[in-house]
Amino acid sequence: MDPLPLSRAFTLIEPGPVVLVTTREGERDNVMTISWTMVLDFAGRFALTTGPWNHSFAALVARRECVVAIPSAEMIDTVIGIGTCSGASVDKFETFGLRRAPASRVAAPLLPDCLANIECRLIDRVEAYDMLILESLAAWHDPARAASGRMLHAVGDGTFIVDGERLDRRVAMRSKLPEGL
């Protein structure tokens, strides 16, 4: 094996999938792209890495809530567009023609064109690592697209991987999975 620069090590541990995070500040909605996520448990708690350099951050921390939406691979150019401009100067819903739907537990909107949406509450913040810890309050998906929809995974160097073949090892994993999953 050849040495790999440490600066590229993170690209080996591919997180998944790229998500869109909606927030509401006053009466104004915003959305950003996040690829650095981490599942924390089976109960629906997970972490996002983000911070005050993004406009969304202030609304997320002030209201302590957001929606995490899972875009399909076909939405890649919208996902990149949303993640390369700021809601401080752009209405991203108008610019990218994004549809919105009301959420049930939070003020931030659902994105019905995505494969799924999770309404979340901010329950903790690990400032040393710019990590926000979220708890899921409600989740929505489009059953018609759930099986066929392909998610997008960011490698971190401007390239992306799309879901491929699904391997079923549910029987072998049984002892490690919660009942009913």
Chain residues binding ligand FMN by CB under 6 A are: 18, 30, 32-36, 49-50, 54-56, 80, 83-88, 154
Residue nearer to ligand FMN on the CB measure, 44 or 51? 51
Residue nearer to ligand FMN on the CB measure, 30 or 117? 30
Place of tokens 């080996």: 12
Minimum gap (Å) between residue 52 Cβ and ligand FMN = 10
Q: Are residues 115 and 149 in contact, defined by beta-carbon separation less than 8 angstroms?
A: yes
Other CB atoms within 10 A of residue 72 CB: 22
Minimum gap (Å) between residue 49 Cβ and ligand FMN = 5
Bin 34: left if φ > 0, else alpha if -120 < ψ < 50, else beta.
beta
Residue nearer to ligand FMN on the CB measure, 54 or 72? 54
Run of H or E including 68: strand 65-70
Q: In the 3-class helix/strand/coil scheme, how is 118-139 assigned residue by residue? A: EEEEEEEEEHHHCEEEEEEEEE
Minimum gap (Å) between residue 175 Cβ and ligand FMN = 33
Minimum gap (Å) between residue 143 Cβ and ligand FMN = 27
**Nearest residue relative to ligand FMN (C-beta):** 83
Q: How far apart are CA 170 and CA 6, in angstroms?
A: 35
The dihedrals phi and psi of 154, each to the nearest 5 degrees, come to -90, 130
Residue nearer to ligand FMN on the CB measure, 32 or 110? 32
Helix (H, G, I), strand (E, B) or coil at 104: coil
Minimum gap (Å) between residue 42 Cβ and ligand FMN = 23
Minimum gap (Å) between residue 47 Cβ and ligand FMN = 11
Place of tokens 């064109």: 113
Residue 153 amino acid letter: H
Residue nearer to ligand FMN on the CB measure, 29 or 135? 29
